[in-house]
Structure 1
Amino acid sequence: MLLAGASGTIGRAVATALSSDGHRVTCLSRADFADAATLAKAVAEARPETVISCIASRSGSPKDTQTVDYQANANLLAAAQAADARHFILLSAICVQKPRLAFQHAKLAFEAELQDSGIDWTIVRPTAFFKSLSGQIARVRDGKPFLLFGNGELTRCKPISDADLARFIADCVTRTGRRNCVLPIGGPGPAISPREQGAMMFELAGREPRFRSISPSLFKLASHLLSLGAPFFDWFAAKAEYARIAHYYATESMLVLDPETGAYSEEATPEFGSDTLRDHYRRLIEKGVRDT
């Protein structure tokens, strides 16, 4: 196995899952991606049967996502083909179903290239991660209000833990029925809204629920104003994109999109694993109490 992106939380979990299955795993470092020739040499030396990519842009800025989400993966695919790898597994994202952002278009561009490459491929599109839904734990624990967009019921998701997602990805190595497939995947249901996430946090922290609403339209206004400077300075282009990203996640569910109705479907979103968001919140809150 050759694993790219092992320094991230998902990548580390994938490396652990692969090793527990008895696979010999080579992890690429950031230095290996310095240029295409260096990457090709590293992949050739590893001689992998399967290449797994968990790399992703950290910022989501237009330049960064083109460099990482598309070009780095394209270079990795070329190196995998040159090394006669048989299978390429890509960690993508479920939000590419409705692409409006730079990183979504970059991911889709590479997905299309991978599917046309001739190599066996598997594209995994997870819903939301536990980590992405845990940013307000400290606020709730400290008695501050939970911040909502609108009424807190604009979006829903079936979040999946790092460990469960890693196990799903590792299983793709040997399950031939998952080859040449796009696989959306979530954790155990039911789907949950931001308001329900906040209520769960307050309950586990032993506090009365307090909420404060923020209008998603503020992000749209910010992106419009920042876009005025985008043609002249990269800073404005990046900030405008961050505002668009914030608006997108404030208004779009992370569930499978029904192509016939154009609506997000909880029922159509597959579930995998056993880790629950509730147990994750409980661990974080208890850890925080002990730390204080």
Structure 2
Amino acid sequence: MALSSPFNVFASYSYTPKPKTFLRDSKLLSRSQQLNSFPLASNSNLRLTRSRPEPVSSLGTSEIDTSSSSSSSSSTFRNKIPSEVNILVVGSTGYIGRFVVQELVKRGFNVIAVAREKSGVRGKNDKEATLKQLQGANVCFSDVTDLASLERSVETLGLGIDVVVSCLASRNGGIKDSWKIDYEATKNSLLAGKKFGAKHFVLLSAICVQKPLLEFQRAKLKFEAELMELQDSTFTYSIVRPTAFFKSLGGQVDIVKDGKPYVMFGDGKLCACKPISEEDLASFIADCVLEESKINKVLPIGGPGKALTPLEQGEILFRILGREPKFLKVPIEIMDFVIGVLDGVAKVFPSVAEAAEFGKIGRYYAAESMLILDPETGEYSEEKTPSYGKDTLEDFFEKVVREGMAGQELGEQFF
């Protein structure tokens, strides 16, 4: 199925940045103009506080180069020092987005983080909480689901945009939410960025789009295809497809601590992943801003070490707790039955379609590996899935056993 269609609307966009005479002031714009300002980085005073992880295995065997040559004229911003590069980050208060903002700030970029006035899970964070969470960035309160609103907010900044980094993701992967956020809102950020001069777009996607059986995967792929079509001598992109995140695997820690069994589907070997920490993923995404080796490529990425099945993840957790492993094996056919019933009901009551989709999401992650899907064999490949970073799942489990999962909620990723 063809997923691509060109953004012809770009042809009518042009923008001349306003003079940036205020860039060295400690305040960029007043809060009444929707932007909270922090002192912008000087040319040399801001240094990384976290060393950049080295790739564990070469990306050369697994990254997907979707162009025959890299763009040279589009790399003008790559010749600048970080403090002169303006990066617009959307999805900045989401699960991964806030770590990406922190990493870009550490590297000295001028970061403009787009956020809602009420952000976080169920909108629990007000403006002040958001400003504290994104400290070091310039926070622009706007609505990425409304293109006109987003463009007005960016125009208010009075400066050009060099790079857009999108960490947008739908709340729950539902049908309506997926197309509204994973496609439409992400497209809005691209349109707004290009209108105000962006020459590079970094997209946080997902490795599971290789086998698109779910609506959010189809929405992500449609945007990816349209983004690729824009590649030319003046515009580039990097599409990052990570494997599973640590926090998505930590939901059973407290249950097992309480003496209950570790729940898994089938024999616990139906799927595997090379989980990556949010800090390591944020570092990889930040690498994509300036590194020419990542231009116009689809970049699958996992964390360090071997791929882990749910069985092995459970064994790690029991070892940390010093207990004998105790597993509850649930037949995958139970999920198939429930999904079949919901699909049948949805034919009569369309409102049930969302519930059926949620069931399909659970079924997908219970049986499909978050690894490179080898097109030659049709099998998932641990060897072809690149590794990056230093943080391990065992380290994460040890931390959660000590400190719990408080403050590590998933959800509301798109703002």
Q: Shorter-chain TM-score category?
A: over 0.9
Identity fraction in percent = 49
Q: Which runs of 5+ in 2 are unaligned?
A: 1-86, 117-141, 406-415
Letter in 2 for 1:222: V
Q: Which has the larger radius of gyration?
A: 2
Of 211, 214, 227, the match for 1:101: 214
* Correspondence list, 1:245-256, <5 A: 245-256=361-372
Cα offset, 1:287, TM superposition: 1.8
* Correspondence list, 1:203-282, <5 A: 203-282=319-398
SS in 1 for 2:197: coil
Aligned to 1:53: 166
Deviation digits for residues 100-150 of structure 1 (CA, Å, limit 9, x no counterpart)? 000000000000011112331100000000011111001111110000110
Q: Residue 128 in 1 paired to residue 128 in 2? A: no
TM-score by length of 2: 0.68
SS in 2 for 1:239: helix
CA 1:267 to 1:34, structure 2 compared with 1: closer, same or farther past 3 Å? closer
TM-score by length of 1: 0.96
Of 133, 136, 139, the match for 2:255: 139
Letter in 1 for 2:171: R
Aligned to 1:12: 98
Q: Residue 40 in 1 paired to residue 151 in 2? A: yes
Aligned to 1:287: 403
Contact in 2 for aligned 1:48/1:83 (Cα 8 Å):
yes
Contact in 1 for aligned 2:145/2:180 (Cα 8 Å):
no
- Higher normalized contact order (CA 8 Å, seq sep 6+, divided by chain length): 2
Letter in 2 for 1:48: I
Aligned to 2:198: 85
Aligned to 2:177: 64
Contact in 2 for aligned 1:143/1:207 (Cα 8 Å):
no
Letter in 1 for 2:105: S
More helix by share: 1
Cα offset, 1:268, TM superposition: 0.3
Report the RMSD for the aligned CA atoms in angstroms: 1.4
What is the rounded CA distance, in whole Å, between the counterparts of 1:69 and 1:220 in structure 2? 26
What is the rounded CA distance, in whole Å, between the counterparts of 2:286 and 2:242 in structure 1? 14
Letter in 2 for 1:224: G
Q: Residue 21 in 1 paired to residue 107 in 2? A: yes
Contact in 1 for aligned 2:145/2:188 (Cα 8 Å):
no
Cα offset, 1:233, TM superposition: 4.1
Where do 4+ consecutive residues of structure 1 move more than 6 Å?
Answer: none
Number of matched pairs:
289
Aligned to 2:119: none
Deviation digits for residues 171-228 of structure 1 (CA, Å, limit 9, x no counterpart)? 1111011010000000001111100100111111122110001112222221111122
Deviation digits for residues 38-78 of structure 1 (CA, Å, limit 9, x no counterpart)? 11222334422000000001111111101000011111111
Cα offset, 1:82, TM superposition: 1.0
SS in 1 for 2:345: coil
Contact in 2 for aligned 1:44/1:82 (Cα 8 Å):
no
Q: Residue 113 in 1 paired to residue 226 in 2? A: yes
What is the rounded CA distance, in whole Å, between the counterparts of 1:180 and 1:44 in structure 2? 27
Contact in 2 for aligned 1:217/1:247 (Cα 8 Å):
no
